Structure 1
Amino acid sequence: MPSFYAAAAFSLPLLQLASAHGYVAGIKVNQGSWIEGANPNWYYQPAGSAPETPGWQALNQDNGFVSPNAFSTSDIACHKSAKPGQKYIEAVGGDTLTLYWNTWPDTHKGPIINYLAKCSGECTSASAGSLSFTKISEGAWLSGSDPGDWVTDTMIAQNFTSDFKLPSGLAPGNYILRHEIIALHSAGSANGAQAYPQCLNIKVGGGGSTALPSGTPATNLYTPTDPGILFSLYSSFDSYPIPGPDVWSG
């Protein structure tokens, strides 16, 4: 495990440690070198003092979430008041990206969903509210009920890591990865689901020629009453409708 984890743990305020929801601390491409994500504590650091990384910084110093009553705002794109990352993850279509959460509570079961948005120019100057996303992978309920086994349990068992593949043949360009967990432990009540979107810049190279579809504006991804958002985790069920648009086949 990178030494970053240990250093970050000592730098977190007590409130953040207590909430313990987590954030994407780093990424690897094909299990290569460690690439830092974005620590929420950097948000208020003076310009030039925080590390420049591909991860978008957001106003979530309590490791908090975006609630359903904010799904119609730009906060649902890349988290609260998100500011773009200033570097890129470099990859090509077909590469496997491994995202490392610093932590995640086992009570916060739910889907893990990955989206891509094409940047018009540099992602480093993009605005969250202008982005439209195409879903490229998803996972959720695995077995059982009340509450059952979920992909978040697998992520925890894998040392808080989640993998996905970039679409093979994806055309070169600048993209934003929207990686998200939706926690369902309180989703049986209105406005109870908890969305934890994390955004990172990706520069795709290679010789691919497949264009990403235009996608869905972030504010249209979900509604507070979608069956996968208003969902009773602590009941008997035999399926789970993953929210959002269909996965793009590429």
Structure 2
Amino acid sequence: MPSITSTTLLSALAGAVSVAAHGHVRNIVINGVSYQGYDPTSMPYMQNPPKVVGWTASNTDNGFVAPDAFGSGDIICHKSATNAGGHAVVAAGDKVFIQWDTWPESHHGPVIDYLANCGDAGCESVDKTTLEFFKIDEVGLVDGTSAPGVWGSDQLIANNNSWLVEIPSNIKPGFYVLRHEIIALHSAGQANGAQNYPQCFNLQVTGSGTATPAGVLGTKLYTATDPGILANIYTSPVTYKIPGPALIEGAASIKQSSSAITSSASAITGSASAPAAVATTTSNAAAATTTAAAGSSAVPTAASSSSAPAAVKTSASASAAPAASSTSTRPRPTGCASAKKRRHARDLAKH
């Protein structure tokens, strides 16, 4: 029987492995400017977390939303998600580079992107249950010759855990939530086995487009028995139908090649000459005026060498506060881990 010390060590190692087994979006990049996403594994424990463009979520274990929760608000932007305090500006037709911290090879599945119009009040205060999402990008089964196949998620991993999505050039200017999602299908052959990992980001889209595509409420995007949700990927040849509504007219599928990813994100490696700018709003988000906020700890740092990076905007009601270290004890996360890593943890616990 293992000692108390060994058991404690085993538990700690298992927790560390499980939190690394899945992932979350670390940041998004638009025209060389990096905007910080929400980190569910650290920001909930900060006394004053930074203001970011990613929606908050309570999945501190980097966990998922199961099919039995598709009718709840958790499927919209992840578990107990709340509005992001700021938004990034992007022109219709531009690309958004989405960088995950990690993604496990065993979690094969589609990568899907949606937009939802927030209205004139902006996305910082919109009721998520009213958002109607339309699909702008999807990559599912790439090669089903042999099980489990090659998937959109495999392309993401091959490109340094990153993804490119283009904002349709015909979209009407306004405030939108970008909903980015991976659906892991490694256990989807059984009821309630699919794992959805949705994440949301606030955008202000500029341009001269006029399209206002019809959308679907987040709680109506999928059902637990959709062919793309209840699916066995371990029979050859693999076949698959991506769930959710059809792509809108004007959606542009980007070839997720390493060259495209590298080209889009090349400015990330450049030296930052200025932090992103901040704007506050008075009556509503549409009337925002931009003011420089060099050195503000409440906004992400520009990763571009340009002297005039795009702006991150925040509502006047949200107070800027620097990031602080955790003041609470962090609970041990739970989740799935590879058998190999679990065996390694047990071996360490014996010593």
Structure 2 distance, partners of 1:15, 1:87, is 32
State the match for 1:119 in structure 2: 118
Give, in angstroms, the shift of residue 127 of structure 1. 2.6
Structure 2 distance, partners of 1:230, 1:206, is 39
1:88-136: CA deviations, max 9, x gaps?
1210111011100000000000000000000022201123222110011
Give, in angstroms, the shift of residue 236 of structure 1. 1.5
Deviates more, 1:190-199 or 1:20-29: 20-29
Residues 230 and 60 (structure 1), Cα distance of their counterparts in 2 relative to 1, 3 Å cut = same
The one-letter code of the counterpart of 2:241 is P
**Equivalent residue of 1:137, what SS?**
strand
**Equivalent residue of 2:154, what SS?**
helix
Contact 2:149 2:238 in 1 (8 A): no
Contact 2:69 2:75 in 1 (8 A): yes
Structure 1 distance, partners of 2:89, 2:65, is 28
Q: Does 1:202 align with 2:203?
A: yes
The one-letter code of the counterpart of 2:130 is S
Structure 1 gap ranges (5+): 1-12
The one-letter code of the counterpart of 2:128 is A
Structure 2 distance, partners of 1:244, 1:44, is 34
RMSD: 1.5
Contact 1:145 1:233 in 2 (8 A): no
TM-score of the pair, normalised by structure 1: 0.90
Structure 2 distance, partners of 1:15, 1:24, is 20
Structure 1 distance, partners of 2:15, 2:33, is 31
The one-letter code of the counterpart of 2:55 is W
State the match for 1:92 in structure 2: 91
Structure 2 distance, partners of 1:17, 1:56, is 25
Give, in angstroms, the shift of residue 83 of structure 1. 0.8
State the match for 1:65 in structure 2: 64
TM-score of the pair, normalised by structure 2: 0.64
Residues 16 and 181 (structure 1), Cα distance of their counterparts in 2 relative to 1, 3 Å cut = farther
Deviates more, 1:202-211 or 1:132-141: 202-211
State the match for 2:236 in structure 1: 236
Structure 1 distance, partners of 2:216, 2:53, is 22
The one-letter code of the counterpart of 1:229 is I
Alignment of 1:22-171 (within 5 A): 22-30=23-31, 32-40=32-40, 41-46=42-47, 49-120=48-119, 121-143=121-143, 144-171=145-172
* % same residue: 47
Residues 208 and 52 (structure 1), Cα distance of their counterparts in 2 relative to 1, 3 Å cut = same
Contact 1:16 1:62 in 2 (8 A): no
Give, in angstroms, the shift of residue 18 of structure 1. 2.3
Residues 65 and 159 (structure 1), Cα distance of their counterparts in 2 relative to 1, 3 Å cut = same
Larger Rg: 2
The one-letter code of the counterpart of 1:168 is S
Contact 1:83 1:127 in 2 (8 A): no
**Equivalent residue of 1:124, what SS?**
coil
Give, in angstroms, the shift of residue 45 of structure 1. 3.6
State the match for 2:344 in structure 1: none
Deviates more, 1:194-203 or 1:35-44: 35-44
The one-letter code of the counterpart of 1:237 is P
**Equivalent residue of 1:99, what SS?**
strand
